[in-house]
Structure 1
Amino acid sequence: MEDWLNESGAAGLNDLELAEFPVTGRGVRTRRRFQQGERILTIPGDSLWTVEHADSDPLLGPVLRSVQPPLSVEDTLAVYLLFVRLREHGYEGPRSHVAAMPARYSSSIFFNEDELEVCAGTSLYTITKQLEERIEDDYRVLVMRVFTQHPDLLPLAKISIQDYKWALCTVWSRAMDFVLPNGKPLRVLAPFADMINHSPEVKQCHAYDPSSGNLSVLAGKDYEIGDQIYISYGSIPNNRLLRLYGFVIPENPNDSYDLVLSTHPMAPFYEQKQKLWASAGLDSASTIPLTLIDPLPKSVLRYLRIQRLDASDLAAIALQKLDTNEKISNSKEVEILQFLVESISALLDGFNTPFEKLQKQLAKGVYPLGGNAWAAAHVSLSEQRVLMLAKKRAENLLEAVESGSGNERSLLSPLARCVNCGKDSVPLMLCGRCKGVRYCGRACQVAHHKEHKVICQAMAKMR
């Protein structure tokens, strides 16, 4: 692969080498020092895998262009990969790249039932089940529309659904996405550059040049000789990392839970409420991420306030006497917060293994380190941790509304009060590590340490 890329005009390969690393497996190692921001690698545009290159291929291109409606970007690239992998002659450069790719992946779509069951109750579990059904449907469509129509190029006997899943995972885990100056998205697979692993400690350091069509990788930090170099896939939670890339980061600072809120179209005043949701940047079916930093976003409360508006509320809003950014009334706010506490409790009850039990199982080595079940367990921990924080925030808000203390706003603004006892009329000290919460004294800081520890680490890493 390196010889092909050098002949194609790649730059920087002589300063890098593929190597095996203890935790990440295969990656890219430096042969010299690099300073942050220095260009490490450039892959020429002609060597990239793109939809445009697939469509212009002399053999595969006519096949792809004849399919109506056109295949999706990921299916086009997946078919392109399978086509090249099946070639016995020609395509030496791309074939050398395919040969360097993993023969198998650890994405959740390859988990067996027992491994996937470890994360039952998570969004990953639900999405993986849905993906498996969608992949089967898409494979059947490809069989009918492409493979059986062109057996000389894409013989069905050599393209099983497992092969198709391999190609999809190759696209999901190795492709890079960019937005061109004209606003159009571009997805590319870059030989050798796709061997560079992810680290949350570096910022995005890969770029596509539309004028030349080349892809470059810059040093996201200073590197010494023999260091592994990294790129950033972005701020991605564990459930998405495992689904797309096949790995997790224990205590990932970007962990989240996607809360789905929806309202039936036959609900009272649906059209008026739909307009209010739209003005708030929401929809009648909204997916709102709950995170370690903000486990109960204001948008969740705003959605539910709009959902519960009655005729008099809507009239008051029309007269600008009510604002869904604030509570409509104490009774309705109590109803909303009780609903949240009960709903989040039900979500937590739906996990296959409760948080504390799962922690103990991981500590005892019940799940082999680095294995599929171990990764699934960490996804379950991640989502349960976020939901527990969201439930605690909802309970605190509910207590404030029911007591009439008027502290609801401060509870949604953690810097305005002691995060442990809620005091806001005394001098407060800032957490020295994460700078994200305040305490009224050392006693509250110590009492809150166990609950705050994970969030503190997450916030500190993001600073």
Structure 2
Amino acid sequence: MESWLKRSGASGLDDFELVDFSDTGRGIRTLRRFEEGEEILTIPHSVLWTVKHAYADPVLGPALLSAQPPLSVDDTLATYILFVRSRRSGYDGLRSHVAVLPDSYTSSIFFTEAELDVCAGTSLYTITKHLVHQIEIDYKELVVRLFRQHHELFPRDKFTIDDYKWALCTVWSRAMDFKLHNGDSFRLLTPFADMLNHSIEVGQCHSYDPMSGKLSISAGKKYEPGDQVFINYGPVPNNRLSRLYGFVVPGNPNDSYDLVLATHPMAPFFEQKHKLWKSAGLDSTSTISLTLTEPLPSSVLRYLRIQRLDESDLADVTLRHQNEAALEKINDLNEVEVLKFLVESISSILDGFGTNLEKLEEQLAERFYTPAGNAWSAAHVSLGEQRVLRLTRKTAKDLLEAVENRNGNNKAFLSTTDQCALCNKFSTQLMRCGRCNGAMYCGRACQVAHYREHKAICRAITANNSSRKG
């Protein structure tokens, strides 16, 4: 591969060698010293794997153009890789790159059920389950739209679903993404440079020049001869590292949990609330990342404040400037309701994890999982997400305690923070059951809907109260 790249105009290759490292797998080792920031490697545009190059191929291009609708970027690149791998001649340079790619990957889509169960309850678990199913659907569509239509180009035994999954993981784990000046995203695979492994200890050190089409790698730190050279993939959490790249970083400071907030369109006052969400830069279904540095983003509180508005508060809020209403606390009752809901919801999410944080820490310390194995990676993903969620819950609890302490001497406030027995909504206008005077409801509809469940308790309380009076 190196000789082909040199003939194509790549520079810096003589200073490096491919090595299989015990901790990171295949990577690049430097043969000389480099200072931080020094340009160490350049790869010309002509040898990059891009969608444009795939369509420009005289054999593959016409077949790709025939597929309607057009293939996605990832499917195009995956097909391009498999096509080159299947050819016996005419693609010697590109095939030399394919030859040094890993034979298999450790992305979460290859986890066994038992390995994936280690991270049950995490976003990785849910996304991986969905992804495995979606890959099967996408492959079947690819067969119908492309492979079967041009069977002479895509021999069935070289374009199986296992081949497709391997090619997809090649794209996910080795592609680089760049933003062009016009705002468009640009994805490419770079021979040799795609062997550089990730480290959070180096800065951003790879760049693409759209004018020359050249990809450049700089030294992200000072290197001595024999050191492994790294690039930084960005602030990627372990759940994404495992899904796309097949590895994790223990104690990853970029760990996160994607919290999905959703409201059904049939919910009361949905249209009015939808306008408020829009004014706050949100939507009726919003996915917000919780992180170790920002466990409770203001956007979560904005969303829930609007979602929990009752009729009287909604009328008051709509009279104000919408942006202001969306950004600021509505009132203490609304804030208590939001924070209590958040604490209970996060607790429920945490209860859904297969193994709690303390147990995972104990198992990892005792080397219960094979280091760097799939189950070990799944354990670190679960550990990271639980740490984020616990920090979110603590932050919400602290905010709730502050609001309640501020109103500690306000008996009227405290008496109105009871919940509706059916929907758990807090309200300033709760109505009590007329028989037992115990259960409280935010309206007649909830009281009627809850009566079948409540009536036995209601009769018992009523009878007990009568006997006391007697």
User: Is 2:192 aligned against 1:183?
Assistant: no
Number of residue-to-residue matches in the alignment: 406
Partner in structure 2 of residue 390 of structure 1: 392
Q: With structure 1 as the length reference, what TM-score do the two structures score?
A: 0.86
Distance across 1 between alignment mates of 2:111 and 2:163: 15
Question: Is the Cα–Cα contact under 8 Å of residues 277 and 326 in structure 2 kept in the other structure?
Answer: no
Distance across 2 between alignment mates of 1:298 and 1:405: 22
Shift of 1:220: 1.1
Distance across 2 between alignment mates of 1:145 and 1:328: 53
Shift of 1:326: 2.9
Question: Is the Cα–Cα contact under 8 Å of residues 242 and 375 in structure 1 kept in the other structure?
Answer: yes
Partner in structure 2 of residue 9 of structure 1: 9
Distance across 2 between alignment mates of 1:274 and 1:395: 27
Question: Is the Cα–Cα contact under 8 Å of residues 143 and 156 in structure 1 kept in the other structure?
Answer: no
1:316 partner amino acid: D
1:239 partner amino acid: N
Distance across 2 between alignment mates of 1:207 and 1:263: 41
Distance across 2 between alignment mates of 1:157 and 1:194: 27
User: Is 2:27 aligned against 1:27?
Assistant: yes
Partner in structure 1 of residue 86 of structure 2: 86
In structure 2, the CA distance between the partners of 1:405 and 1:202, relative to structure 1 (3 Å rule), is: farther
User: Is 2:259 aligned against 1:259?
Assistant: yes
SS where residue 40 of structure 1 aligns? strand
Distance across 1 between alignment mates of 2:201 and 2:273: 42
Shift of 1:394: 1.1
SS where residue 97 of structure 2 aligns? helix
Partner in structure 2 of residue 352 of structure 1: 354
Rg (Cα) greater in structure: 2
Partner in structure 2 of residue 58 of structure 1: 58
Q: With structure 2 as the length reference, what TM-score do the two structures score?
A: 0.85
2:74 partner amino acid: E
Partner in structure 2 of residue 339 of structure 1: 341
Q: Quick one: percent identity of the two aligned structures?
A: 67
Please, what is the CA RMSD of the aligned residues? Answer: 1.3
Partner in structure 1 of residue 430 of structure 2: none
Partner in structure 1 of residue 434 of structure 2: none
Shift of 1:315: 2.6
1:20 partner amino acid: D
1:338 partner amino acid: K
Shift of 1:128: 0.2
User: Is 2:332 aligned against 1:361?
Assistant: no
User: Is 2:51 aligned against 1:67?
Assistant: no
Partner in structure 2 of residue 325 of structure 1: 327
Unaligned runs of 5+ in 2: 409-470
Question: Is the Cα–Cα contact under 8 Å of residues 50 and 77 in structure 2 kept in the other structure?
Answer: yes
SS where residue 229 of structure 1 aligns? strand
Alignment of 1:96-175 (within 5 A): 96-175=96-175
SS where residue 347 of structure 2 aligns? helix
Shift of 1:212: 1.1
Deviation track 1:67-119 (CA, whole Å, cap 9, x = no partner) reads: 11100000000000010111112201100100100010000000010000100
1:346 partner amino acid: S
Shift of 1:336: 1.1
SS where residue 228 of structure 2 aligns? coil
Distance across 1 between alignment mates of 2:56 and 2:371: 45
1:174 partner amino acid: R
Distance across 2 between alignment mates of 1:236 and 1:157: 36
Question: Is the Cα–Cα contact under 8 Å of residues 118 and 376 in structure 1 kept in the other structure?
Answer: yes
Shift of 1:39: 0.8
Shift of 1:130: 0.6
SS where residue 361 of structure 2 aligns? helix
Shift of 1:294: 1.2
Question: Is the Cα–Cα contact under 8 Å of residues 180 and 186 in structure 1 kept in the other structure?
Answer: yes
Distance across 1 between alignment mates of 2:179 and 2:400: 43
Partner in structure 1 of residue 198 of structure 2: 198
SS where residue 267 of structure 2 aligns? coil
Shift of 1:344: 0.5
Question: Is the Cα–Cα contact under 8 Å of residues 357 and 387 in structure 2 kept in the other structure?
Answer: yes
1:75 partner amino acid: D
Deviation track 1:230-251 (CA, whole Å, cap 9, x = no partner) reads: 1111000000000000000000
